[in-house]
Amino acid sequence: MPKKPANQGKRWTPEDMKKLQELVQLNTPTRLIGLKMGRSPKAVYEKAREEDVSLKPTNQSPDKRRKK
């Protein structure tokens, strides 16, 4: 049986929110954010949605798919 995240069921603190925003700005994958913060990826998605924080990568260009 998988281990429960360390912070499961605990409230998000202002420090947690600051860390979440920093990791998002670094384009950290959601699963890795969860591991670093001791939370499940689902909890990260939910909190980001509540706080209107976009988890989409910002360094990907749509031009990568075009052939030159």
The full set of domain ranges for the chain reads 14-52
Task: Confirm if 44 and 37 have CB atoms less than 8 A apart.
Answer: yes
Rounded to 5°, angle at Cα 30 from 9 and 64: 165
pLDDT exceeds 90 at position 2: no
Q: Name the more confident of 61 and 33.
A: 33
pLDDT in tens, 17-28: 999 999 999 989
